[in-house]
């Protein structure tokens, strides 16, 4: 097929990319879908079109500030059905402030994109607003700005960070606004993997929290990494690489990863102890496909099942597990830099819903653990509502659960577990709590 616009490369393609990015951002702004879902729907995720991705992720990362700057020049708030035009102005602002695109090219192509939205009024508005934005400094720190705009985090989020982490909240904000590094887990000895990468001309260094993490100096397509196809290297944040060793695994043990997709931690467990019997469960059958891809690639043995952790009767064979990993759905406040759209999609009320879900998962899965068995609870949240509060309530309700202290030189101990806070250059934020099942004492 020929490109629909007769001039296929260069300018027209750049216009098409901006239209696509605007549709993706508009879906996220409307709360219709997450960024990866919207990218897939508009034909951008699978293609991994670098420019569209950069526009979308970058605009989401700076969404509050960009929205504020654009709205200064609008007479009325954008209507729901015109969110695509609003999104174009946001990503126009992103190009002006944060990308290497020359200003005149950014304005020109974004206005052309507005023209192709078939809203006759839009191109004039986009042109006028972007020309004003081009004259302003959209990156300058201005203490007059409201906090959510200045820090690109919603108010409810900032409030909680300040309350929970009075000494660290600014570092947490900086980490959330940063571009994430591309992190790998090396299955074999890390020095060998680093040597293989160096030989391939890929700049990388080892992480300091684990023995397995490797940071690439620049993100690269996974296909170009020596050792990815064979499963020697996997993409996984360094904080996430702590889970499998904390859970532990011995030959012959039955191990459940109850919220496994996309399968990074389950794969780590299976690679760490190939003689363990791992069951990777996830509620989303589609995402189970991602787990199977990982299993096939790394050639490990593991059972993958679609099922809801809260309803074991629908998938459990009745034989107890020796170890269970509950990597619970959470606010993702510890991995904002990897999911920048979370700042737009999540709200304070979600925290209660998530805490309920986390509780329900623990309560439903605990009876599946044998006496003396261990359960590792983890989240990528930095908020106590989803971490210590959940574990504290669970321990109080169960007489046969006991918290096991995690001795480590990373992160900091909390009442019931251990918290790793996200950093700009290294790992994401994670919470871990290790529980052991004892005979009922009361």
Partner 1 sequence: MARLEILEFPDPRLRTKAQPVAVVDAAIQQLVDDMLETMYDADGIGLAATQVNVHKRVVVMDLSSAREEPRVLINPEIELLGATVESQEGCLSVPEFYEPVTRHERIRLEALDRDGQPYELEAEGLLAVCIQHECDHLLGKLFVDYLSGLKRQRIRKKLEKRHRQSA
Contact residues for partner 1 (CB under 8 A)?
1-6, 8-9, 13-14, 16-17, 20, 23, 40-43, 46-52, 289
* Residue 101 vs 256, nearer CB to partner 1: 101
| Euclidean distance between CA atoms 33 and 26, whole angstroms | 10
**Any idea what the Cα angle at residue 120 is, between residues 118 and 124, rounded to 5°?**
120
* Residue 100 vs 199, nearer CB to partner 1: 100
First to last CA, the chain: 72
User: Is residue 340 within 8 Å of residue 391, measured between CB atoms?
Assistant: no
Q: Is 380 a catalytic residue?
A: yes
Closest approach, Cβ 333 to partner 1, in A, equals: 29
| Euclidean distance between CA atoms 58 and 95, whole angstroms | 9
Closest approach, Cβ 12 to partner 1, in A, equals: 9
Catalytic-labelled residue, pool 56, 259, 378, 380: 380
Q: In sequence order, what are the residues at sequence separation of 6 or more whose Cβ sits closer than 8 angstroms to the Cβ of residue 25?
A: 38, 55, 56, 59, 60, 87, 90, 91
* Residue 20 vs 338, nearer CB to partner 1: 20
Sheet holding 204-206, edge to edge: 204-206, 213-216, 182-186, 233-235
User: Could you give the 3-state DSSP secondary structure of residue 436?
Assistant: strand
| Euclidean distance between CA atoms 140 and 266, whole angstroms | 44
User: Is residue 10 within 8 Å of residue 80, measured between CB atoms?
Assistant: no
Q: Measuring CA to CA, which residue among 122, 64, 115, 117 is closest to residue 93?
A: 64
Closest approach, Cβ 179 to partner 1, in A, equals: 19
User: Is residue 288 within 8 Å of residue 282, measured between CB atoms?
Assistant: yes
Closest approach, Cβ 13 to partner 1, in A, equals: 4
Exposed / middle / buried, residue 405 (Cβ in 10 Å: 0-12, 13-18, 19+) = exposed
Closest approach, Cβ 57 to partner 1, in A, equals: 16
* Residue 9 vs 441, nearer CB to partner 1: 9
Closest approach, Cβ 116 to partner 1, in A, equals: 11
User: Is residue 426 within 8 Å of residue 238, measured between CB atoms?
Assistant: yes
* Residue 99 vs 272, nearer CB to partner 1: 99
* Residue 40 vs 424, nearer CB to partner 1: 40
Which residues have a catalytic role annotated? Answer: 380
């Amino acid at each position: 097929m020929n490109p629909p616009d007769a001039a296929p490369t260069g300018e027209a393609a750049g216009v098409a990319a901006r239209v696509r990015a605007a549709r993706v951002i508009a879906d996220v702004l409307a709360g219709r879908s997450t960024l990866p879902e919207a990218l897939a729907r508009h034909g951008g995720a699978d293609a991994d079109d670098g420019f569209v991705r950069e526009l979308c992720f970058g605009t989401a990362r700076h969404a509050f500030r960009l929205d504020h700057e654009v709205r200064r020049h609008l007479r009325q708030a954008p209507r729901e059905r015109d969110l695509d035009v609003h999104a174009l102005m946001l990503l126009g602002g992103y190009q002006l402030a944060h990308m290497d695109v020359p200003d005149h090219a950014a304005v020109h192509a974004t206005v052309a994109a507005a023209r192709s939205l078939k809203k006759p009024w839009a191109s004039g508005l986009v042109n006028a607003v972007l020309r004003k934005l081009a004259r302003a400094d959209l990156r300058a720190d201005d203490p007059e700005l409201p906090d959510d705009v200045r820090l690109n985090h919603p108010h409810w989020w900032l409030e909680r960070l300040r309350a929970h982490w009075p000494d660290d909240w600014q570092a947490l904000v900086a980490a959330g606004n940063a571009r994430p590094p591309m992190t790998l887990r090396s299955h074999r000895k890390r020095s060998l993997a680093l040597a293989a990468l160096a030989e391939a001309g890929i700049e990388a260094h080892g992480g300091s929290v684990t023995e397995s993490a490797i940071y690439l100096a620049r993100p690269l397509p996974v296909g170009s990494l020596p050792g990815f196809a064979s499963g020697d290297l996997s993409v996984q944040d360094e904080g996430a690489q702590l889970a499998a060793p904390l859970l532990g695994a011995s030959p012959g043990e039955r191990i459940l990863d109850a919220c496994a997709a996309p399968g990074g931690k389950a794969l780590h467990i299976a690679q760490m102890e190939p003689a363990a019997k791992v069951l990777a469960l996830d509620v989303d059958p589609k995402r189970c496909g991602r787990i199977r891809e990982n299993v096939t690639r790394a050639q490990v043995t593991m059972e993958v099942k679609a099922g809801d952790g809260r309803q074991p009767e629908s998938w459990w064979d009745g034989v107890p597990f020796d170890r269970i990993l509950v990597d619970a759905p959470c606010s993702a406040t510890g991995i904002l830099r990897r999911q920048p759209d979370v700042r737009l999609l999540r709200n304070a009320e979600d925290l209660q819903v998530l805490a309920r879900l986390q509780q329900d998962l623990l309560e439903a899965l605990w009876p599946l653990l044998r006496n003396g068995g261990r359960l590792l609870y983890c989240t990528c949240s930095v908020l106590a509502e989803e971490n210590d509060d959940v574990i504290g309530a669970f321990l109080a309700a169960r007489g046969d659960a006991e918290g096991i202290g995690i001795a480590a030189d990373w992160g900091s101990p909390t009442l019931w577990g251990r918290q790793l806070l996200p950093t700009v250059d290294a790992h994401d934020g994670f919470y871990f709590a290790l529980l052991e099942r004892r005979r009922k004492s009361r």
